[in-house]
Amino acid sequence: MSVSLGGSLGGSLGERIRLAHGGGGVAMQQLIANELSGLYADPTQLLHDAASLALPHGRLAFSTDSYVVQPLEFPGGDIGRLAVIGTANDLAMVGARPLHLSVGLILEEGLELVVLRRVIASLAAAARECGVTVVTGDTKVVERGKGDGVFINTSGLGLLDGLAPIGPAAIRPGDQLVVSGDLGRHGVAILAARHGLRLEPPFPSDCAPLWPAVQRLLAAGLRPHGLRDLTRGGLAAALQELASAAAVDLVIEEPLVPVAEPVARTCALLGLEPWQLANEGRFLAVLPAAALAPALALLQPSGATWIGTVEAGPSRVRLRTDFGSERLLAPLSGDLLPRIC
């Protein structure tokens, strides 16, 4: 029987890595805190989507991510597009303009070259769309049965402005919460492709670059106090992470959270929660109250919606229902949909 990590990997012989340790919830946070924090020069630092680097002639953001999605191709994208956009979006979440990428490919023996060519063409097109250049890379081949076709790692550099990087330390009671669009599209697209579900009409992933929307906010002087892209664990994981990092309560107006009808229908059929499904083209913005109205005016053409408020409190996420009652959003403890990115 596998056991959740609660201490050092050098402890009990029964402790094992589980899929939940990569799912964006409590298990992943415990893995990072208990086993990986020693890698960092300052283990107490608030980990974010990208690190901020102070250099003599400016400030850069640096991020890295690995992509192991199955299937390799899905409605609205593929692993190549995902690998570029996912890392570019991580840079955007600290307010950095994506500039350069490295690409590491782990290829499985037996992969059809026609599939690899499609993935690489898609990766190159996504790089052009994001305005980034691929400047270095690496390729390895592993034995048949050891690699799921293709694994991709991308690392990215982005340019920060002269102000402090965007991060949860700036979040304050009174701030307002906005999601940039409806939720769960990527998770449903992967689920349908993996299990052969025929959704009518076909429902594509939302995989898309986030920097253009962030850039519009910054250019208008509407600097967010916090940003999170809603990938593994979806909106639920992002809310839990921000509430914990900023030591505040996040009060969410549950009926206002936008979910497209096909996502709601699929979730109802399969017993899933759209809050926990992954997105690859959506973010949560924490904005000063004075910035809410102009920010919504800038972002609403893409479906942005106000969903709640930051309040003083003991690091909780409180959901306010249609009836005016409240319930707590429990931390995620598993991985409902493995390998969505």
| 27-52 mean pLDDT | 66
| 210-235 mean pLDDT | 96
Collapsing DSSP states into helix, strand and coil, what is residue 177? strand
Look at residue 69 and tell me whether its pLDDT is greater than 50. yes
CB 50 within 8 A of CB 90: yes
Q: Cβ-count burial of 7 within 10 angstroms (0-12 exposed, 13-18 middle, 19+ buried)?
A: exposed
| Domains detected in the chain | 1-45 (no CATH), 47-160 (3.30.1330.10), 168-328 (3.90.650.10)
User: Which residues pair with residue 147 across a beta bridge?
Assistant: none
pLDDT tens digits along 278-298: 999 999 999 999 999 999 999
Mean pLDDT, all residues of the chain:
87
| 314-318 mean pLDDT | 95
| 204-213 mean pLDDT | 97
Look at residue 333 and tell me whether its pLDDT is greater than 70. no
pLDDT at 51: 64
| 256-276 mean pLDDT | 91
Q: Which of the 8 DSSP states describes residue 19?
A: G
Look at residue 56 and tell me whether its pLDDT is greater than 70. no
| Among the listed residues 188, 201, 197, 272, the one whose alpha carbon sits nearest the alpha carbon of residue 236 | 272
pLDDT category of residue 258 using cuts at 50, 70 and 90:
very high
SS3 content of the chain, % helix, strand, coil (to 5): 35, 25, 40
A 10 A CB-CB count for 263 gives 22
Q: Where are the beta strands (DSSP E) in 190-282?
A: 226-229, 249-253
Look at residue 55 and tell me whether its pLDDT is greater than 80. no
pLDDT at 340: 78
pTM: 0.84
CB 340 within 8 A of CB 278: yes
CB 78 within 8 A of CB 193: no
